[in-house]
Amino acid sequence: MNWIILIIAGLFEVAFASCLGKTKETTGNEMYMWYGGFLACLTVSMLLLMKATQTLPIGTAYAVWTGIGAVGTAIMGILVFKDPASFWRIFFLFTLIGSIIGLKAVSHEA
């Protein structure tokens, strides 16, 4: 169950990073709404990460959390913010995904 919580926490990390990206594109009240979304997603992400680390090793949990955030944010950047999608960028995203799966596979926690 804590692995699912950790994955959800990582998705909220993607959401708070995406909210920051949207603040660059907006002004006025809309910008403050994105900042509010950032704070809300940041809070949820941190609370879920804290919950997951109650049973998962901190090193593994933090690495998986940041990995999900990094991969998800890079994908959001490509799809939403028109970041470049070069061969090497995609290649290293796949190696990062493989590393996240590897950490889960070698973890001895439930």
Side chain identity, residue 40: A
pLDDT of residue 109: 56
- Residues of the chain below pLDDT 50: none
Q: How high is the pLDDT of residue 107?
A: 81
What pTM, to 2 d.p., does this model score? Answer: 0.87
Contacts of residue 42, Cβ cutoff 8 Å, sequence gap at least 6: 12, 16
Q: How far apart are CA 56 and CA 4, in angstroms?
A: 12
